[in-house]
Amino acid sequence: MIIKGGRIIDPLSKRDEVLDIKIEDGKIVEIAKDIEASSDKEEIIDARGKIVVPGLIDVHVHFRDPGQTHKEDLVTGSQAAIAGGFTSVVQMANTSPKIDSKEKIIEHYKRARDLPLKVFTVSALTKNFGDLELVDMEENFKRGALAFTDDGIPNRNSKLILEAMNRAKELGAIISFHEEDPELIEQNGINHSEVSDKLGIYGSPKIAETSFIARDVAMAIYTGAKISIQHISTGLGVDLVKFGKEMGANIYAEVTPHHIALNDSAVLEYGSLAKMNPPLRSEEDRLRIIEGLKEGTIEIIATDHAPHTAEEKSKEITKAPSGIIGLETSFSICYENLVLTKEISLMKLIELMSTNPARIYGLEGGEISQGKTADLAIIDLESEYTIDKYKSKSSNTPFKDKTLRGEVLYTISEGKIVFKK
């Protein structure tokens, strides 16, 4: 296969150049101008006027498999991912049953073997998310768990977290944290603000997030463990992460496309489709998050793809579940709200969505270079499109029916075309 005339955007080499890419046996074997086909059977992809980027990597998705496959499963989640340009994703452990043992991790990888992209898994941090007993971290890490997290159920057992950080440091593993203190929240998924006042509810105050971030930043400084703050939503949270980094801690942070694009006023327009944990916050918080991306405090954009049925989301807002899907719209939402607004460069966006996740989580990918696996996406930045029907089983998103800019045309995983528009 030869990809002809695409504009290669590769953050690792800082390459931004129109070149051809030759692929053989799943690997990139040549990057140059005017590569000639070796035979008339060689597949040619015309990428002129398009960008060619490393396959996107999402380190935070919920495929609901096993246990809630009426919302999503490994197959449909994978189809949504490749339609969004992703070649690697990491499933969270809040399935039913929880992914908290070596047997469940092994079973996941058996089932993921034939999917069109690499679907990794994390391990739960505590057994059955009980916050009482740590999983066998050493064994689960050995079996392929990329990180440890009870995402969805914030950890309150500080003594246990301290032990977990010390064990994770020995392993060189990441612990990622869902930072919301449930004791401070009356209704989750909606920011405590003028918006919640208009809805006649209290909601979720910012201190629910920032108090837990402060705790875990302090523990990371103390232990030297590598931690990630998931789906950060508050400006003060960004400042706390920045402080931890300045103190020498191994702290990373991720943010979702929806926290980049929207503030809490979206709840008044979209109702439960704009309800998620943590909630959309103020415009001031949104702008500080963007500054956090620009300054390097936040290194990862991850979707927190969270499918729910239309029936569930049609309930009144206090009873509807939190979460939105994001894999199929992620690149476009970030491109429109970060690159077209001149907040960051296109190169920086690909770094946040591919190169950094690969580097931080120790994954192959995130680069376009000779000898490396051909995990690539080809994107038309000029194309405007609307998703009529999602590849996901669910369509719970405030971006539904929106005209989007920057369409994924091809996703190539290990040298094979797995998605073509």
Identify whether the C-beta of residue 258 lies closer than 8 Å to the C-beta of residue 398.
yes
pLDDT tens, residue by residue, 362-408? 999 999 999 999 999 999 999 999 999 999 999 999 999 999 999 99
Question: Which residue type occupies 12?
Answer: L
Identify whether the C-beta of residue 401 lies closer than 8 Å to the C-beta of residue 91.
no
Residue 195: burial class (beta carbons within 10 Å; 0-12, 13-18, 19+): buried
Residue 40: burial class (beta carbons within 10 Å; 0-12, 13-18, 19+): exposed
Binding-site annotation: residue ranges for Zn(2+): 60, 62, 151, 178, 231, 304
The SS3 of residue 347 is helix
Q: Enumerate the H helices of 199-354 as residue ranges.
A: 207-223, 235-246, 257-261, 266-270, 283-295, 310-313, 330-334, 346-350
- Within 78-173, strands assigned E span 86-91, 118-121, 147-148
Binding-site annotation: residue ranges for substrate: 62-64, 94, 277, 308
Given a cut of 90, whether residue 38 has pLDDT beyond it is: no
Half-sphere exposure of 362 (CA within 13 A, CB side): 10
pLDDT > 90: what percent of the chain?
Answer: 99
pLDDT tens, residue by residue, 211-267? 999 999 999 999 999 999 999 999 999 999 999 999 999 999 999 999 999 999 999
Cβ-proximal residues to 39 (8 Å cutoff; 6+ apart), any chain: none
Half-sphere exposure of 176 (CA within 13 A, CB side): 30
pLDDT tens, residue by residue, 67-101? 999 999 999 999 999 999 999 999 999 999 999 99
Residue 134 phi/psi, 5-degree rounding, is -70, 150
Measured between alpha carbons, how far is 381 from 48 in angstroms, rounded to an integer? 12
Positions annotated as catalytic residues are 304
Which run of H or E residues covers position 82? helix 74-83
Q: What is the pLDDT of residue 96?
A: 97
Q: Name the token pair of 67.
A: 């246990």
Q: What is the pLDDT of residue 23?
A: 98
Average pLDDT over residues 279-296: 98
Strands 226-229 and 250-255: parallel
Q: What is the pLDDT of residue 313?
A: 98
Identify whether the C-beta of residue 183 lies closer than 8 Å to the C-beta of residue 204.
no
pLDDT tens, residue by residue, 292-302? 999 999 999 99
Q: Which DSSP symbol is given to 245?
A: H
Read off the pTM.
0.98
Given a cut of 90, whether residue 306 has pLDDT beyond it is: yes
Alpha-carbon distances of 44 from 38, 41, 218, rounded to whole Å: 11, 9, 53
Q: What is the pLDDT of residue 124?
A: 98
Given a cut of 90, whether residue 166 has pLDDT beyond it is: yes
Measured between alpha carbons, how far is 56 from 89 in angstroms, rounded to an integer? 9
Which run of H or E residues covers position 166? helix 158-171
218 C-beta neighbours (distance < 10 Å), count:
15
Residue 40 confidence class, pLDDT cut points 50, 70, 90: confident
Identify whether the C-beta of residue 354 lies closer than 8 Å to the C-beta of residue 28.
no
Q: What is the pLDDT of residue 19?
A: 98
Binding-site annotation: residue ranges: 60, 62-64, 94, 151, 178, 231, 277, 304, 308
Q: What is the pLDDT of residue 5?
A: 98
Residue 33 confidence class, pLDDT cut points 50, 70, 90: very high
Average pLDDT over residues 348-372: 98
Given a cut of 90, whether residue 415 has pLDDT beyond it is: yes
pLDDT > 70: what percent of the chain?
Answer: 100
